[in-house]
Amino acid sequence: MKEKLVYGLIFVFLFAVVSAGMIYFNSLYKNIFAFDFTPRTQENELSKKNIAKADSLKTDSLKVDSLKTNVDSTQVKENVPTAQTNLASNQKSEIKEQKKEEVAVQTPFRVPVDDKIKAKKDSIYNEWVKQTVKLYESMDSKKAAKVIVNYSDNIARDILLKMKKKKAAEILGELKPDVITRIISVN
């Protein structure tokens, strides 16, 4: 009984020490849980708050006459294009054209590489399925069924469909009906 009490007290003490350490170091550093041990900069946070207070104190909201003046809501601002806006719109259109040209140049080179990679992966997968089918056809049906169930449904389906029909039927006969419908169903 004394041992349990001693272990309990040790656990509570260590829990308190670790918790206090986490709180202390989390207050010193930005984020100890993400292993970001850069010191916190409280000065920047305080100066930002003080700047906001100083700006709001410059003008007294009670003395401002902005609410008393009548504003004509029917005034329409004339939209006269200036040389700068014309220049900016021209530059934007040129940038868009350049991006389109870059995409058009890069796209033809990417597609064949992706197709080659996919074709290579498919050929490797097909070769693996052929070798695996040969192996499982030579095994006992019960053992092969246990192994095939562990594959994902798509892989198990591929293996069973590539097998000889008689051997695949024997293996499926060893499986539960719900597993068979899950594997054979088309998703």
Question: How many structural domains are present in the chain?
Answer: 2
Q: Does 165 reside within a domain?
A: yes
Domain contains 41: yes
pLDDT reading at 134 higher than 90: yes
Are 48 and 131 found together in one domain?
no
For residue 124, being part of any structural domain is answered with yes
Considering the domain architecture, whether residues 46 and 95 belong to the same structural domain is answered as no
Domain holding 21, by residue range, is 2-52
- 85-89, 121-125, 167-171, range with the lowest pLDDT: 85-89
Q: Is 27 contained in some domain? A: yes
Residue 73 lies in a domain: no
CA distances from 38 to 24, 42, 45, 149 (A): 14, 12, 15, 50
Q: Is 92 found in the same domain as 40?
A: no
Task: Find where tokens 């499926």 sit.
Answer: 172
Same domain, 113 and 23: no
Q: Nearest-CA neighbor of 132 among 154, 160, 171?
A: 160
CATH of the domain at 121: 1.10.220
pLDDT tens digits along 20-73: 998 998 888 888 888 787 888 765 555 566 665 655 666 666 666 655 566 555
Clarify whether residues 109 and 156 are in a common domain. yes
43 inside domain: yes
Shared domain check, 169 and 108: yes
Residues paired with 29 in a beta bridge: 39
Q: pLDDT band at residue 77, thresholds of 50, 70 and 90?
A: low
The helix (run of H) or strand (run of E) holding residue 85 is: helix 83-138
Domain co-membership, 105 together with 34: no
Residue 36 lies in a domain: yes
This prediction's pTM: 0.40
Residue 79: pLDDT above 80?
no
